[in-house]
Amino acid sequence: MKKAKHTTQHLLIRAGNNNPMDHVDYAIISFTEAWCKTMLRRYEQMQPLLQDESFHTVRYEESTIGFFSSVDEFDLAGILETNEDWNFIELEDGELSNLDKRNGNSDSYLCIGRDGNAYYFADDEIDQYETFAFNIPSVCNGTF
C-alpha cells in the first residue's frame, strides 16, 4: 500500500473506534465513478432540506467501507500527512483481501451533513467505528 499521486479506486481515510483493545486508525472506501455519482446525487437531493434550520444529516446504509488498523501492516504517516484526513492509495493485487478488516460483521452507514461533509460509521454488538469527515464535492468533483 502506498500513497497515490492520482485518483485511484481506493480512498484511505483516518478513522477510530471506541475499543482501545481493538485499535482502528483508518478505513478504505471503494472509490469508483458510480460511487461519486451516487454521493453527489445524494448531496444534491438534500438541497431543498437545507432551508429547514433544524435539518442536520441524512443517513444511508452502506457496504463500501472497511475499517483497519495499521499497527502491524504499514506506517500510516507515510500515506497521510499530519494535516490530511484522506488520500488516494495504490494497492498491490490481493492486498486489500489480506488486510485484517475489523468491522466484518457490523452494519455500516454513511452520514451526509448539510455542508456536504460526510463520514462513515459502523457498529456491532461491542465496537463502534467512525471515519473522519470528508467533503463530498471536494473528493468527487473533477475526479471522473
Candidates 77, 109, 97, 60; CA nearest to 3 is: 77
74-109: pLDDT as tens digits = 678 788 988 999 999 999 898 888 887 777 667 889
**pLDDT above 80 (res 56):** yes
**Strand intervals (E) in 46-135:** 57-62, 65-68, 86-90, 107-113, 117-123, 128-131, 134-135
Task: Return the pLDDT at 69.
Answer: 81
Name the average pLDDT for the chain.
87
Q: Does position 26 have pLDDT exceeding 80, yes or no?
A: yes
**Total number of domains constituting the chain:** 1
pLDDT band at 10 (very low <50, low <70, confident <90, very high): very high
Supply 11's cell numbers: 480512498
The predicted pLDDT at position 42 comes to: 94
Tell me, what's the pLDDT at 74?
64
Highest mean pLDDT among 17-26, 48-57, 69-78: 48-57
Domain that holds residue 47: 2-140
Look at residue 108 and give its three-state secondary structure: strand
Q: Give the cell for residue 59.
A: 443517513
Determine the Cα–Cα distance for residues 50 and 112; give it in Å rounded to an integer. Answer: 12
Neighbours of 67 (CB within 10 A): 28
State how far the Cα of 30 lies from the Cα of 9, in Å rounded to an integer: 6
| Residue whose C-alpha is closest to residue 135's, from 50, 10, 11 | 11
pLDDT tens-digit readout, 111-132? 999 999 999 998 877 888 999 9
pLDDT computed for residue 71 by the predictor = 62
Q: Please compute, for residue 11, the number of CA atoms within 13 A of its CA located in the half-sphere on the CB side.
A: 27
